[in-house]
Copies of this chain bind each other. A is one copy, B any other.
Amino acid sequence: METNRVVTAIKALLPKEDFSPLHEPLFRGNENKYVKECIDTGWVSSVGKFVDKFEADLAAYTGVKRAVAVVNGTSALHICLILGGVKPDDEVLVPALTFIATANAVKYCQAEPHFVDSSYDTLGMDPDKLDQYLGVIAELRDGFCWNKKTGRRISAVVPMHTFGHPVAMDKMQAVADKYHLVLIEDAAESIGSFYHERHTGNFGIIAAMSFNGNKTITTGGGGAVLTNDEELGRMAKHLTTQAKVPHRWEFVHDAIGYNYRMPNINAALGCAQLEELPAFVEKKRAWAKKCAEGLKDVEGIKFFTEPEGAKSNYWLNAILLDEACCKQRDELLSALNDNGIMARPIWNLMYTLEMYKDCPRMDCSVAEDIGRRLINIPSSVKLGDNA
């Protein structure tokens, strides 16, 4: 691989600008109007019409029965795990290749992350390999799945839709069913991504979403809990609003809750962004298509395209270096960044981090290989403008 050729090929696709960020938000609709309305009316905080509207609009777009707006994707994951029944000292199956929040949320429940290998097709959990692995290390007893080695209960599995590309959720569901695992989706990156025409977040019993500033749409900071179970939805709202029992004036709380609600001013931004979302997804897909075409003949790299059965939001575009070139990853990262093209590798594998190095895990050779070879390149919505 000649790194200069790769840089030149990517540069040729990008608009002529000094700097192309990895992902910047696009505000061109009602963002200022709705946010100004919050400030002018004084309704900026924990209750307000934009929170209700954002939740209703998000539920309508994704097709879930209930969406609960929260302060960020990490808090959404934490609530999903609690409501998924994860208890202290349980193990929770999470990808080895994910953003740190997936593993941290398990720790917030005083449970242990148990790391799962990735699939080359989706960049997410490999359900076949997981099935095989659980067949060896797990046993079913009393209606639960137990890790024979550690003696701990494995209570849940949390596939994450990497860069917006859906995991093979039909197979994932089959594995969860077979081993009596609660299926929870980490859909932090996948707003606008569909799997067999159903929006991500509709497959597990509950799902977490993120609207951080680097996501396809943003609320500044924010996230959501999605579910098709009305009771779980009610409990998500209750737990994220400090478990306060409604009363004209009394302060009664009936559980240890959390202050995870999204402020109205952030929801106002979100309402405006949701109005744009279908167009944004089309732009991102157009930009991904342009990249795929433009990079198809560049030696040494392959542009990652959506898995079969999926319609991805292409949140972050990714190229995979050929096996032979993976030693040049950092050289290419330097060259891209030096040329004003923001690029980054995929996350460090969770079990390479000090605090997770002793956690249980399967053979993660695919995740390790992807980790060595993947580079994210600029993916902002606006890049789709002339694509």
Contact = CB atoms under 8 A, between A and B. Distances in A.
Interface of A: 24-27, 31-32, 35-36, 38-40, 42-46, 71-75, 99-101, 104, 107, 110, 212-214, 218, 220-221, 242-244, 248-259, 261-266, 269, 333, 337, 343-345, 347-348, 353-355
Given A25-B44, A221-B266, A254-B355, 9 more contacts: A32-B36, A36-B36, A44-B213, A46-B213, A71-B221, A75-B259, A221-B262, A255-B354, A265-B269
Contacts of A243: 100
Identical copies of this chain, number: 2
Nearest to A221: B263
Given A25-B44, A35-B35, A104 B256 contact: yes
- Name A's interface SS: loop
Contact of A45 (B220, B242, B251, B257): B220
Nearest to A47: B213
Contacts of A212: 45-46
B348 A252 contact: yes
A257 B101 CA distance: 9
B27 A32 contact: no
Contacts of A24: 42
A46 B266 CA distance: 13
B110 A74 contact: no
A218 B100 contact: no
Contacts of A25: 42, 44-45
Contacts of A244: 100
Contacts of A31: 39
Given A344-B249, A353-B253, A263 B213 contact: yes
A355 B74 contact: no
A72 B71 contact: yes
A376 to B, nearest CB: 9
A242 B42 contact: no
A42 B354 CA distance: 35
B264 A220 contact: yes
A348 B254 CA distance: 12
Contact of A213 (B45, B107, B110, B354): B45
B221 A261 contact: yes
